[in-house]
């Protein structure tokens, strides 16, 4: 099976079947990244489609200097940040947990012990309230900080990958994340004290 980079080189030579394979492999990831940043399914779909159209347009100039995944993230990140500059993103609709992908005390339970027991009604209420508080706090972050949080904690990218995707340095990403954590700590302080 050809690598993503090999497929992109084929797309650059006009092989549209190779582009179809690229889209098939990565469309869900592009939509998920845009959705986690924007919180709007329709806007995320538009961003993902626009990203692939731009990638197709740039295919003749593509050179595999980084992984295709990094390249895709760079395109989606730019489109999301441009969207945020034009319009304040819509509130997340709660279809996905605001804390999905974040490490927790129960991390690894399924892999090691089977399935988790069903949460009690009180646990479900606390989780829903926590998710809503985190969602509001993340939405209030400036766009660059919000994107760094999404890439690092929701997409699970390392600091260097976040920097490549955002077109900045690892040190700048560290600063963005530090400011975001401080803002989230302040915004969520009252909620955390409550529990």
pLDDT, position 130? 78
Domains of the chain by residue range: 1-90, 119-195
Quick one: tokens of 122? 């009180």
Cβ distance 39 to 139 under 8 Å?
yes
Per residue in 38-86, pLDDT (tens digit) is 988 999 999 999 999 999 999 999 988 888 999 999 999 999 999 988 8
| Domain 1-90 = CATH 3.40.50.20 | no
Q: What confidence score (pLDDT) does residue 106 get?
A: 35
Can you name the CATH fold of 119-195?
Arc Repressor Mutant, subunit A (1.10.10)
User: What angle separates helix 159-166 from helix 68-86, to the nearest 10 degrees?
Assistant: 60
pLDDT value of residue 177: 95
**Angle 106-108-110 from CA coordinates, rounded to 5°:** 95
Do the domains 1-90 and 119-195 sit in the same CATH topology, yes or no?
no
How much is the pTM?
0.71
DSSP state of 98: T
What span, in angstroms and rounded, lies between the C-alpha atoms of 188 and 43?
27
Which residues of the chain, if any, have pLDDT below 70? 88-117, 123, 191-195
Torsion angle, alpha carbons of 123, 33, 40, 37, to 10: 80
pLDDT at 192: 65
Question: Could you say which DSSP state residue 88 is in?
Answer: P
Tell how far CA 65 is from the center of its chain. 22
């Amino acid at each position: 099976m050809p690598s993503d980079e090999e497929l992109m080189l084929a797309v650059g030579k006009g092989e549209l079947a190779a582009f179809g394979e690229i889209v098939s492999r990565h469309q869900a990831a592009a939509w998920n990244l845009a959705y986690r940043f924007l919180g709007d399914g329709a806007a995320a779909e538009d961003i993902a489609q626009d990203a692939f159209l731009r990638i197709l347009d740039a295919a003749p100039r593509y050179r595999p200097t980084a992984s295709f995944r990094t390249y895709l993230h760079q395109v989606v990140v730019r489109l999301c940040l441009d969207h945020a500059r034009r319009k304040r993103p819509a509130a997340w609709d709660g279809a996905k947990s605001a804390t999905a992908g974040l490490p927790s005390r129960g991390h690894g339970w399924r892999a090691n012990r089977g399935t988790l027991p069903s949460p009690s009604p009180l646990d479900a209420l606390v989780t829903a309230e926590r998710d809503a508080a985190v969602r509001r706090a993340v939405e209030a972050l400036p766009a660059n900080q919000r994107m760094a949080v999404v890439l690092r904690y929701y997409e699970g990218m390392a600091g260097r990958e976040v920097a490549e995707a955002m077109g900045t340095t690892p040190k700048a990403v560290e600063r963005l994340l530090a400011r975001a954590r401080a803002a989230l700590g302040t915004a969520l302080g009252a909620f955390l004290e409550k529990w």
